[in-house]
Amino acid sequence: MKKSKIVRQAHDLLASLIKKNDIIIDATLGNGYDSLFIAELAKEIIAFDIQEQAINNSKETLKDVSNVSCILDSHEHYQKYVQNYHGVVFNLGYLPTGDKRITTTAKTTIDTLYKMVSDNLARFILVVVYPRHPEGQIESRDLLEFIKYIPNYSVKLINYNESIIQDYIILLKKGAI
């Protein structure tokens, strides 16, 4: 699986942020490649997707690792499944190999982020944002507004350029970045 530039950047950041005893939430499992990468770094991964196709694809991707739990549910319900966690990754948008109309949405993503920031448990929350499709554009606009008002976390934008619409990363981190 060839990684895009933004996914490579996200993985490099994750490698520097994750500790070996961490429990990580993968809020958007997709085909399971982010979870597979994290499985080498963390103790446990709890991963969510709303599509059965994503869960099935990921079971194949993740067949050789045993520390990833794949949950068919929206990430906004994560509190039903996980009470303690140390980090979170969102890789927004649609399943690359699936129905491109089924995508993360601004409201659900921000509702979930709001709960996670309020939990104040995660050392970091990393969000990969794809503003080059219509829902992604709305999601990006609303997220950029949302992050102006986040308590407890420092915020860093990586690969963001106000004058060019391109994929970027939002990193929320406890303490200074």
Q: In what order do the strands lie in the sheet with 44-49?
A: 68-72, 44-49, 23-26, 87-91, 124-129, 168-174, 153-158
Residue 93 in contact with ligand SAM, rule: CB under 6 A: yes
Choice from 13, 104, 135, 172 touching ligand SAM (CB under 6 A): 104
In the chain, the N- to C-terminal Cα span, in Å, equals 30
Q: Does 87 bind ligand SAM (CB under 6 A)?
A: no
Nearer to ligand SAM (CB atom), residue 103 or residue 140? 103
Q: Indicate the pairing of strand 124-129 with strand 87-91.
A: parallel
Distance between CA atoms of 135 and 88, rounded to whole angstroms? 22
Interacting residue with ligand SAM among 17, 95, 125, 171 (CB under 6 A): 95
Amino acid at 120: N
Please state, in angstroms and rounded to a whole number, the distance separating the CA atoms of residues 117 and 150. Answer: 7
Q: How far is CA 140 from the centre of its chain?
A: 14
- Confirm if 173 and 123 have CB atoms less than 8 A apart: yes
**Binding segment toward ligand SAM, per CB under 6 A, in 99-107, 117-125, 149-157, 166-174:** 99-107
Is residue 153 a contact point for ligand SAM (CB under 6 A)?
no
Q: Is 49 an interacting residue with respect to ligand SAM (CB under 6 A)?
A: yes
Taking CB under 6 A as the criterion, the residue among 9, 43, 50, 133 binding ligand SAM is: 50
- Check binding of 138 to ligand SAM (CB under 6 A): no
Which residues sit at the interface with ligand SAM, rule CB under 6 A?
A: 27-34, 48-51, 54, 74-75, 91, 93-95, 102-104, 108
